[in-house]
Amino acid sequence: MSWPGAGRMQRGLTLLELLIATVLTALLMTGLVHFASAAGSSNQLMENQALLQDQLRLSRRVLAPAIMQAGFDPAPWKATESIEGLGDGTVNAHNRGNDRLVVREYSDRNCFENLNPVRDSTGQPAFHIRESTFDVSSDRHLTRDCRYGPALTDLTVQIRRQGLVPGVESFQMLFGEDSDGNGNIERWTHAGKWDHKHDVTGIMVGLLLASQDAVVEPAAETFTVLDEIETTRADGKLRMAAEFVFSLRGKGR
């Protein structure tokens, strides 16, 4: 007994049928490749968006303690060396248009947050001067230098060019002056343009952050970072401009 189609099965596929099957397979594979590529691009985009948010949070976390404690003296009534919260190295447009910030405080912890091994008269860790310098390196990292010691003339470098936050394309600052001592900031100005450095009670920080990867259509963009206009390269990277305002809580008048 012969079954219907048995002869056709024995003959195999014709050339036309084989070509049709090959074309259909190619179309299916092309669709799968495009789908996988789109899914991969979407995942990369979301990863870089998340990393930008991490860079933003990290920037605030590393700057806030140093700025807010600037000028802190645990016993201002004692005859100890008086320090300004802002160091003389604080400069506007220091490096490729980026600012540099130098802040000082008295601390019983060194640059590594370890308690000072030197003891005071009560047996407690002594308060020495801790000076932190923030600026942007050539590879676009927000960096920190840190010195620690008993006097401004006797500071030891403990941290040099520590890269803290990657992808920083602009680091700008404005300084708020409370010139009449009423607790309110009357004006914001650039480093060195203040009337009296001692009257600076707040710092406004502006950042332009860039993602690690190129994940969008390449196009030049313009951002306002505080009072500076920044035009970016058309490299397909995500970017975000952000501003923080910090009060110098450690500063005494």
What is the C-alpha separation between 85 and 52, in angstroms, rounded?
30
If DSSP states are collapsed to H, E and C, what string results for 17-77? HHHHHHHHHHHHHHHHHHHHHHHHHHHHHHHHHHHHHHHHHHHHHHHHHHHHCCCCCCCCC
Q: Is residue 244 within 8 Å of residue 223, measured between CB atoms? A: no
Average pLDDT, the chain: 87
- Per-residue model confidence (pLDDT) at position 17: 67
Which residue has better confidence, 130 or 5?
130
Write out the E strands in 118-221: 128-136, 142-149, 156-165, 168-177, 187-189, 200-214
Confidence of residue 149 (pLDDT cuts 50, 70, 90): very high
pLDDT at 216 over 70: yes
151 secondary structure, DSSP code: S
- Per-residue model confidence (pLDDT) at position 34: 55
The pLDDT tens digits for 30-68 are 655 554 554 556 888 889 999 999 999 999 999 999 999
Mean per-residue pLDDT, 115-121 = 95
The pLDDT tens digits for 73-98 are 988 777 667 789 999 999 999 888 99
Query: What pTM value is reported for the model?
Result: 0.81
Which residue has better confidence, 158 or 42?
158
The pLDDT tens digits for 160-185 are 999 999 999 999 999 999 988 888 99
Beta pairing partners, 159: 146
Helix (H) or strand (E) holding 217: none
What is the C-alpha separation between 208 and 243, in angstroms, rounded?
9
pLDDT at 16 over 50: yes
